[in-house]
Structure 1
């Protein structure tokens, strides 16, 4: 093109787009023939075409487009944009970029990084990101006559960064969960001890009941029944707490009362610490709320208590304190947090203490002074990350032979109020017996649970059909016999869980009611997860609970 005497000199370094500009029918556009272009337009066009950076010249009130070779990939498979209005080429994004172009034509340049736009380049809508600058172009008299759009697409980089961030988030969640399961493993010994005590109370009471009935000493039955029921209730509370703690939870920050979390965790902490460790609680009343993830706080608290127990060789005093503190500028400069109101959570032990060298490294990932079989070195690192991500600070005081204080500072939350604890259900009168001859299909694989549940339902007046797996339940549901209520365990054996049985059953019998029962807790996941909005009875349940739920469904 450089040797073509018919081509204007300002197109000489324009590459393929320079050739196209030279042969384009500009007379059919508001710009007119090339020979009539003003100097300002020719100079601006030459600058854009000779640049190796993606650029588009937008000229005149009609916003006529002229661009270089590097800008062509930005257009994708859009119809040819040369000589067309810029607002027509990018019509789908014009509500967002139009005001920016108007500012450029008013003489104000704009630079924007990683701007996300929904555009159409390949016959479909897509989200793309761009870093661009709209710069005004002036003529010889200083009047704005156009703008230059210099742009690079950052969609791939933004996507890669998001994928990397997602992978990091998933890794962090996996680390938190692995640390939580490590803590549950350390709880196992204490929990087994407590369960053996509870089972001894239940089995011993049942043996005494049998003996007293045989001896005719019926006036003593109520006392032994009360002991057995109390032990069963305590076992149920313990298993539900363990299930809730060990379950994977998505991060969810909300207003949290740290004292409430400590109160909920107290039994688990006592059991994990062991009988030789004295747990002391000193929690300020009227504690400010903090904006954190409560499940991460539970994990952090149990982790600190387990470390304190190990530091004391399983004997001594473990102390948990909370209080409101106001940190002045001097203290917050040391902690690298803002001055203001904070809630302090302190875990103290009277154990072996740590050297300054260990304190300096204690929050490093995978650093541990424990034997390999007793720790991964991740626990304190995750505690530190959790507190920092919550806008707080961790401060450690320790000396060899003098124990350790670990202080967690959480900023006071002044927004939404804390959720009040759920109100206990009001006591109701004993449900009336059924008189309509209604039928219940009971699907439960545990023989003892099935027998007791069926007996109660029969006492209420229902006809009860008993099955042990999903396939057997489905056979009854496919038959013509009347079924008014399905009482179904979520974790049925045989490849068809309770959710699937209920879904297929209600498709076959749209008017049938369903009550799920489960031993996995309300926060169970996967196939054992309860159906949203469906009635759910948690094991171990009392007979009154069963009757109340059934009556509420069937009345």
Structure 2
């Protein structure tokens, strides 16, 4: 659906603009309220459905995150993001109930995680808000299908969110690339995503075309994995007691006949 090359739909690195943190938090709260309402409506239509536990988890997670955001709003002044070493795949899997509820019952939601044990230093709350914002945008675009994929490419983690909704006109796409208000009621949402990616030292690519849908890639740097050291092991180059006192020539001769 998005693999065809087209000059108008070319994926392009994004330049960043920011929005006030308080506006971002209010916008995030709106998405969380949307999750609660969507999950409640699905439960009301079919209270015996098999997804009941998943939907209740979505409501619980949304309420918890909403409480955290409210606490942030009540704090005096701005505060720096709380960046942590996060397993992105695990974090994305934890968002699945809320993403599914926010997409709604009329949209086919497909999540595939391909980055096990891949960690990045990010603000987890901002990551959650960014992913949920993109799901909300796909829902607002009247998508029939939303695909969420993750993969590791070299030293980068890719989180790809695609939909087959109405897409963006060229002028709207350019404003979205700059993180500007696209003129919709969603307001500062894409700016929220921009700010998260910039704070994470990542990259954002947007590919969209009217009537063909939208694909957004969040690209994050991975943390290097440092193997643990067995301190009981003999240091490199250390000699056993039986080999102490050997001359260099003796060591070379022994190695050659080994």
TM-score computed with the length of structure 2 as normaliser: 0.68
SS of 2:153's equivalent?
strand
Change (3 A) 1:285 1:393: closer
CA–CA distance in 2 between the matches of 1:380 and 1:275? 24
Residue 177 of structure 1: aligned partner: 25
CA contact (8 A) 1:283 1:323 kept: yes
Residue 150 of structure 2: aligned partner: 322
Q: Deviations over 1:113-146 (max 9, x none)?
A: xxxxxxxxxxxxxxxxxxxxxxxxxxxxxxxxxx
Report the alpha carbon displacement of residue 363 of structure 1 after superposing the two structures with TM.
4.7
Please say which structure displays the higher CA radius of gyration: 1
The one of 212, 215, 231 aligned to 1:405? 215
CA–CA distance in 1 between the matches of 2:56 and 2:209? 41
CA–CA distance in 2 between the matches of 1:304 and 1:287? 24
Report the alpha carbon displacement of residue 309 of structure 1 after superposing the two structures with TM.
1.5
CA contact (8 A) 2:103 2:139 kept: yes
Q: Deviations over 1:347-400 (max 9, x none)?
A: 001111223322211155661242xxx32x201011111101110010111122
Q: Deviations over 1:299-338 (max 9, x none)?
A: 0000001101122x2x411000111113xxxxxxxxxxxx
CA–CA distance in 2 between the matches of 1:365 and 1:193? 32
Change (3 A) 1:390 1:322: same
Change (3 A) 1:257 1:310: same
CA–CA distance in 1 between the matches of 2:115 and 2:98? 22
SS of 2:211's equivalent?
coil
Matched, 1:295 2:125: yes
Q: Any gaps of 5 or more consecutive residues in structure 2?
A: 1-17, 73-78, 228-258
CA–CA distance in 1 between the matches of 2:216 and 2:54? 32
CA contact (8 A) 1:284 1:323 kept: yes
Change (3 A) 1:347 1:178: same
CA–CA distance in 2 between the matches of 1:317 and 1:301? 16
Q: Deviations over 1:3-25 (max 9, x none)?
A: xxxxxxxxxxxxxxxxxxxxxxx
Q: Any gaps of 5 or more consecutive residues in structure 1?
A: 1-168, 202-226, 327-340, 418-555
CA–CA distance in 2 between the matches of 1:415 and 1:361? 38
CA–CA distance in 1 between the matches of 2:182 and 2:34? 16
Matches within 5 A, 1:500-515: none
SS of 1:395's equivalent?
strand
CA–CA distance in 2 between the matches of 1:262 and 1:361? 27
Report the alpha carbon displacement of residue 186 of structure 1 after superposing the two structures with TM.
2.5
CA–CA distance in 1 between the matches of 2:24 and 2:195? 11
Report the alpha carbon displacement of residue 188 of structure 1 after superposing the two structures with TM.
3.9
TM-score computed with the length of structure 1 as normaliser: 0.33
Residue 255 of structure 2: aligned partner: none
SS of 1:185's equivalent?
helix
CA–CA distance in 1 between the matches of 2:114 and 2:194? 23
Residue 175 of structure 2: aligned partner: 361
Matches within 5 A, 1:110-509: 172-196=20-44, 200=47, 237-246=57-66, 247-248=68-69, 251-311=81-141, 313=142, 315-326=143-154, 341-364=155-178, 367-370=181-184, 374-375=185-186, 377-414=187-224
Report the alpha carbon displacement of residue 185 of structure 1 after superposing the two structures with TM.
3.0
Asked which structure has the greater RCO (Cα within 8 Å, sep 6+), the reply is 2
CA–CA distance in 2 between the matches of 1:382 and 1:235? 25
Residue 240 of structure 2: aligned partner: none
SS of 2:84's equivalent?
strand
